[in-house]
Amino acid sequence: MRPAHLLLAACASPVLSLTIPLAAWEAVLDAYDHLRHPNPPAALAKPSEYEVGWADPRLNGGRFLDFTTPKAGEPLNVIISNESDPYILTEPGFRAYYKSIGFSEECLGLHIGHIHDADLGDGEGRKGEHILARQYYFPRWGTCWESIAGGNHFRAWKQNGTDADTGAWFLAVSKEENSSKNHMIVPDGYNIGRDLLVENAAGVTHWNGMWWQVDVEWREGLLAPGHKGVNHKIAQDGRVAILTVNRL
Ligand SMILES: *[C@@H]1O[C@H](CO)[C@@H](O)[C@H](O)[C@H]1NC(C)=O
Ligand SMILES: *[C@@H]1O[C@H](CO)[C@@H](O)[C@H](O)[C@H]1NC(C)=O
Ligand SMILES: *[C@@H]1O[C@H](CO)[C@@H](O)[C@H](O)[C@H]1NC(C)=O
């Protein structure tokens, strides 16, 4: 059967869809992608040595997807430039900053999940996330509520290996389902999660007597749009938000 036929068959029969093996599902998704985007996505830009405030991981063996599994990953869709307030490039400073935009550390260490690796091209190869933070909904429940209700979260890695010691933070942001779905990413959850974080950061934010204002630059060409190699095969638009956070 050709993939397009498989797609039709899968749409036509919910019963059949339950019995299709995973590899066939991937063929169906690829065929669907091809129907929706008959032209291949815009060519990726060649990595430049002249980025300001961070280094392109692709120059030195890295990529803009983390390693959730040995092959598939989640998009590194937000970068915090090293031209930001030097304090937020430190770990305590970054924790203070992300509280100002509505995120906090894991709830009492209850997170059920595994550490994702990322290769930022800084000479350290694949390294485990330095930070996992979740959206903070209500002061009363804090992140414990988010763990049950689902919501926005991110993992962050610092680009601080000796080959590219820029100090920039790279974030993989995504919105996930509530715990009844075992922390599955919602459809379009990579784009939604990134956009929500950028919205939260917009304007002036503050925490603990410190005030910040963010400049946002949107970039394409760093990360291929689509679902190829993306964890859960959830398509994303390939846009990366580069934030410069100024202390007021
Ligand atoms: C910031 O990153 C640039 C690379 O984009 C690097 O040349 C510069 O040294 C970095 N600045 C700091 C303070 O690490
Ligand atoms: C890089 O930054 C992370 C996060 O702050 C820290 O845990 C790690 O020790 C740093 N690595 C180096 C080589 O400085
Ligand atoms: C979790 O999500 C499912 C559907 O996605 C919904 O039916 C359920 O009410 C949600 N539970 C909570 C606690 O939000």
Distance from residue 210's CA to the centre of ligand 1 (Å): 24
Backbone φ and ψ for 124, nearest 5 degrees, come out as: -95, 0
Ligand 3 atom closest to the CA of 149, numbered from 1: 14
The region of weakest confidence among 5-9, 53-57, 74-78 is: 5-9
Q: Bridge-partner residues for 80, per DSSP?
A: 169, 243
Rounded Cα distance between 179 and 150, Å, is: 6
120-157 in b/e form (b: 16+ CB < 10 A) is bbbebeebebbbbbbbbbeeeebbbbbbeebbbbbbbb
Ligand 3 mutation pick, 138, 144, 175, 178, max ligand atoms within 8 A of CB: 178
Q: What pLDDT digit, counting tens, does each position of 146-202 carry?
A: 555 567 889 999 999 999 999 999 999 999 876 655 667 888 999 999 999 999 999
Ligand 1 mutation pick, 80, 90, 166, max ligand atoms within 8 A of CB: 166
- Residues 45-70 have a mean pLDDT of 96
Ligand nearest to the CA of 129: 2
- Residues 53-58 have a mean pLDDT of 98
More reliable by pLDDT, 103 or 97: 97
User: What 3-state class would DSSP assign to 147?
Assistant: helix
Give me the torsion for CA of 48, 54, 60, 66, rounded to 10°. -120
- Residues 212-231 have a mean pLDDT of 96
Ligand nearest to the CA of 48: 1
Nearest Cα residue to atom 2 of ligand 2: 158
* Helix or strand (DSSP H, E) at 243: strand 240-247
Q: Residue 203: what pLDDT? A: 87
Please determine, for residue 106, whether its predicted confidence score (pLDDT) is greater than 90: no
User: What 3-state class would DSSP assign to 223?
Assistant: coil
Of 3-12, 20-29, 82-91, the range with the highest mean pLDDT is: 82-91
Q: Residue 176: what pLDDT? A: 80
User: What 3-state class would DSSP assign to 134?
Assistant: strand
Rounded Cα distance between 239 and 183, Å, is: 23
Which token pair is 204? 């002036």
Cβ–ligand 3 contact at 149 (below 6 Å):
yes
Cβ–ligand 1 contact at 53 (below 6 Å):
yes
> What is the rounded average pLDDT for all residues in the chain?
83
Please determine, for residue 143, whether its predicted confidence score (pLDDT) is greater than 90: no
Rounded Cα distance between 16 and 11, Å, is: 9
Ligand 3 atom closest to the CA of 148, numbered from 1: 13
User: What 3-state class would DSSP assign to 29?
Assistant: helix
Ligand 3 atom closest to the CA of 180, numbered from 1: 1
